[in-house]
Structure 1
């Protein structure tokens, strides 16, 4: 997450958060009981069902019987909408079954498990500088590519419980701010990987993006592009939509206005080496709408062929924030 976001939050809520430091890593993969409380789209208008081009399909606040539950930084949903996978900025991973109500709206999670990612030496990642996983993507062979910040790097996991292998990233990956690295990553149908930095900028009014094309014999050939942004908002999540276009979550925060998020979309044709991507706004989430520190995004097709967008939040292990999971349908 952004350093500014963290420092402002801590400064304004220091007394309340004195006991909210994240828990240490625990070695074993464990079952998890997740409690879910239903959220309205809009607090002061419970009947509201739409914001911008997004139609409400349910939301929940999540709690669990584990001190490691929280900090969720990215999200993957299986194509059938049945299983969820997430990673945290403390190096944890989460899997769960998604529950729906009678109208096929989000109701909660069950059959959950939580564990800790491994380092290159096969031991569990235990320190924050090494464990800060901020983005992940499911590769065509079923493995996971995970992007870490602070110590900026890419690791590929055959499974979430496997020992990873390092992946050579773009040449300028190390130029990113310590706490403003790769937050958004996805894989296209042709196997190319697309990534966005949260804070690293080559040109005013933009942040850096990269495209990785699979190379013969393994590895990737990297090219770069820029992603246009507006003041205060920076990308925190990226996913490919079923129609081949891409969606982005951008986040802003200050103590006066709290968290605000923009849900964006752009065509894959804009992904040109040396080019600048300019996304369109689908919706803006800010109080009194359901919102928190949204850092994970996934997309699936619903039973009627509709495009569904899933968003998950990072609570920073702060008792005044929430772990929320939101589901929207993208209106035509």
Structure 2
């Protein structure tokens, strides 16, 4: 067997592995609105039951959604409240680029991760009030502009978890905000060319990481991995699925929730970057418990 033939067989076997994800999507819906502010959604939170959601664009537009579901719990219709713009921090020349959201169970506050001139996490008491900027560690200052804190999630103890999109090395760092300070969290193993863009926890404490990889004109690949931890170390890692390029659009936001029957589901939303050839998708998967 020639070296070239061997390389071809290896490439085809890798492609075949990607073409057979462990899970298949239960549905995908294109969300359209005439409002020119519609688009660029980078984060989503879905309430238990799956009928209400909050989405956030990277221009600071916060939209509350009503998800009407039909047979087998699939989305049949989407209604929005029209959206409201988050008040940016009271800081001169702040480049406001929200990327992730985390909402406590009582929905009393909203936490937003940002990247741009300042990389950090904002705490909102309400969308119409200027937020509090949580302490910014030196590590955050060293993260690359526009490739920093994409994902944000809150665990059962109220701690905030985040991870940067672009960092060197063989592992993906996580950072955890407990009380008043940031701490280094578990290092997640890096697998292939995927970059993390979204985080969420389920109600049993497992962390879900949404990752993407752009394959040029072929489009985006999407992968979701699930982790459990023992102290500050990864205990288990599961790859739930990895798609072929172009299966979905630019999925950036992730939410894990249970329906009224106790079944576990995953909802993701795409960032269309306000490009006419992209679209805003809500994509759902049924998850193994």
TM-score (norm 2): 0.85
Equivalences for 1:129-140 in 2 at 5 Å?
A: 130-139=95-104
Deviation of 1:159 after TM superposition, in Å, equals 2.2
Q: How many Å separate the matches in 1 of 2:28 and 2:100?
A: 22
The residue aligned with 1:192 is: 159
Equivalences for 1:35-184 in 2 at 5 Å?
A: 52-121=21-90, 130-139=95-104, 142-150=108-116, 151-184=118-151
The residue aligned with 1:17 is: none
In angstroms, what is the RMSD of aligned CA positions? 2.4
Equivalences for 1:269-280 in 2 at 5 Å?
A: 269-270=229-230, 272=232, 275=233, 279-280=237-238
**Do structure 1's residue 266 and structure 2's residue 233 form an aligned pair?**
no
Answer whether contact 1:182 1:198 (CA < 8 A) is retained: yes
Q: How many Å separate the matches in 1 of 2:235 and 2:271?
A: 26
The residue aligned with 2:274 is: 317
The residue aligned with 1:4 is: none
Deviation of 1:118 after TM superposition, in Å, equals 0.6
Which range moves more in the overlay, 55-64 or 150-159?
55-64
Structure 1 residues without counterparts, runs of 5 or longer: 1-49
**Do structure 1's residue 283 and structure 2's residue 244 form an aligned pair?**
no
Answer whether contact 1:228 1:277 (CA < 8 A) is retained: no
**Do structure 1's residue 246 and structure 2's residue 207 form an aligned pair?**
yes
Q: How many Å separate the matches in 2 of 1:315 and 1:286?
A: 19
Q: How many Å separate the matches in 2 of 1:232 and 1:239?
A: 21
SS of corresponding position for 1:173: helix
Answer whether contact 1:70 1:88 (CA < 8 A) is retained: yes
Structure 2 residues without counterparts, runs of 5 or longer: 1-18
SS of corresponding position for 1:286: coil
The residue aligned with 2:184 is: 223
